Structure 1
Amino acid sequence: MSKQHLVLQTDFGLSDGAVSAMHGVALSVDPSLGIYNLTHDIPQYNIWEGSYRLFQTINYWPEGTVFVSVVDPGVGTERLSVVAKTKNNQYIVTPDNGTLTHVKEHVGIIEARIIDEKINRLSNSGESYTFHGRDVYAYTGARLAAGIITYEQVGPELDVDQLVELPVTEAEYTDDVVVGNIDILDVRFGNLWTNIERVVFKELGIEYGDALEVSIENNRRFIYKNIIKFGRSFADSRLGEPILFVNSLDKIGVAINQGSFAKAYHIETGANWKISIRKTQYNK
């Protein structure tokens, strides 16, 4: 069996030895493995963001890549440990706690297996049940990526429909307004990434250069309202001005040119953060 890439994602951060231990376990399995980091800066316990970052990244990695994603507030409980196989023949090693939501929704999962820890657990990990990222997930992911075990040797099959999923909402629209959620932040730059697909703008006849009324609310409390231009790039707005744009996932984003929209207006993400984008008289 050929070797595959191993990609790690956690909410552990890099301030202690946790991620390094995962790398060490993987290299102990096979010193020639290529090991890469997706991110280790997922906010603590934020399963939704872990799920979204997998979706943001997975399509740009080769077929056969093995991802290990550990955002696991339920470590040590009865939640299952699984390896999912996607439609694109990639693998995700993770707790079954909702981390697979976006990949299942947007990429597709064709098979899932429960990790048999009698076989796929680090042999010298003792009685610890608080670091499955090292003892189960990094170990199993490395064995799978190295070709030491086949996918079938991970453990028994699990019905894909039984995988835990987080609630996901879709954007809704009429002839003159579209309403969606702020799903995630482009963290470093403070841009808002919505669940509104670019194709919705196309169906509504919205074109680059149009001025649109944008409202943002949290639990029905208005946080922001302004007229914003829809541009191709940040260069289509002046320094410090807001702009609507199409992000790297072909969805609508909101930004401030060389500023943080999220920090400027104290905006966060999740099901309670709604964004409405409405055509104005300026475009009629």
Structure 2
Amino acid sequence: MTDFGEDDFFVASLKGVIAKINPSARIIDITHRLPSFDIKAGSFILFSSFKYFPARTIFLVVVDPGVGTSRNIVLAKTENYFFIAPDNGVLSLVLEDETIKQLREVTNQDYFLPELSRTFEGRDKMAPAAAWLSRGISCEEFGPETTSYKKSYAEKPQIKRDEIIGHIIYIDKFGNLITNIPERMLELLQKKTGKKTLSLSINDREITSFEQSYSFGKKGELLFLIGSLGLVEIAAKESSAAQKLKIKNRDKCKIIVRNE
């Protein structure tokens, strides 16, 4: 998974390095169209998809605005998976959710390319390390153990009296606004107030249609729902909620879900 896009040589170089070291490696692309330099978007997309992969999958994540600096490269082993990425917060959500078995700095040059650049460590260090790991090299060989990793902190939704305050964490291809409000918080709010009817406010717009899926309501009408990740999403039927509300990716917005 990278923010490289698909028009340049970057992704092909990563895959070539892996195939040369381990020709039998199976490579599945999560995405290469992350917003450039957007560590939080990378963290969210990885977190949203990793659990659907087979056990012992190795995730190579290259969203690396700090390439060439003193930031570390980390290898994380959890109960079921392996992750190699720059230590810049992109693994935050995954590692907070998973049980970490080992966490190591990737420093052993035996598992890098012979010639290193300062501007493409994804190709020269991370991809070969992932390939050698897939060949059965043990985690201990890649570098010293560490006890900490950089965390990219996100605001937590809060229940205040009869409302929940949250914010947008991701905008998908369809213009749906994914919030940080989990379904269980709506249930807690309903239980706390004893009321069932919900409405949502964002950018001074009141949305009263709380639906089961994107296909309900009139075309272009704003609605909110619980998406496939178990989070509140704001959508517009067969349209873009982001465009209708004039919201860009990662804009700070206060979302208030009231129980009426």
Quick check: TM above 0.5?
yes
Partner of 2:146: 158
- Separation in 2, partners of 1:179, 1:105: 22
Partner of 1:115: 106
> Superposition pairs for residues 3-152 of structure 1, below 5 Å?
9-86=1-78, 88-123=79-114, 126-147=115-136, 149-152=137-140
Partner of 1:182: 168
The answer to whether the 8 Å contact 2:216/2:237 transfers is no
- 1:173 partnered with 2:164: no
- Separation in 1, partners of 2:219, 2:98: 37
The answer to whether the 8 Å contact 1:231/1:245 transfers is yes
Query: C-alpha displacement at 1:181, in angstroms?
Result: 1.4
Amino acid in structure 2 at the alignment position of 1:98: G
- Separation in 1, partners of 2:199, 2:66: 42
Partner of 1:205: 190
Partner of 1:4: none
Partner of 1:3: none
Residues 185 and 107 (structure 1), Cα distance of their counterparts in 2 relative to 1, 3 Å cut: farther
The answer to whether the 8 Å contact 1:117/1:136 transfers is no
Amino acid in structure 2 at the alignment position of 1:202: E
Runs of 4+ that moved beyond 6 A: none
What is the alpha-carbon root mean square deviation over aligned residues?
1.7
Question: Which of 213, 217, 235 is the equivalent residue of 1:233?
Answer: 213
Partner of 1:279: 259
Query: C-alpha displacement at 1:241, in angstroms?
Result: 1.0
Specify the SS of the correspondent of 2:119. Answer: coil
The answer to whether the 8 Å contact 1:103/1:109 transfers is no
The answer to whether the 8 Å contact 1:213/1:226 transfers is yes
Give the structure with the larger strand fraction: 1
- Separation in 2, partners of 1:232, 1:66: 35
Query: C-alpha displacement at 1:235, in angstroms?
Result: 2.7
TM-score, structure 1 length as denominator? 0.85
- Separation in 1, partners of 2:198, 2:75: 44
- Separation in 1, partners of 2:100, 2:238: 38
Query: C-alpha displacement at 1:117, in angstroms?
Result: 3.6
Query: C-alpha displacement at 1:258, in angstroms?
Result: 0.5
The answer to whether the 8 Å contact 1:181/1:270 transfers is no
Unaligned runs of 5+ in 1: 1-8, 217-222
TM-score, structure 2 length as denominator? 0.93
Percent identity between the two aligned chains: 36
- Separation in 1, partners of 2:44, 2:100: 15
- Separation in 1, partners of 2:86, 2:14: 16
- Separation in 1, partners of 2:98, 2:12: 30
- Separation in 2, partners of 1:108, 1:91: 11
> Superposition pairs for residues 256-267 of structure 1, below 5 Å?
256-267=236-247
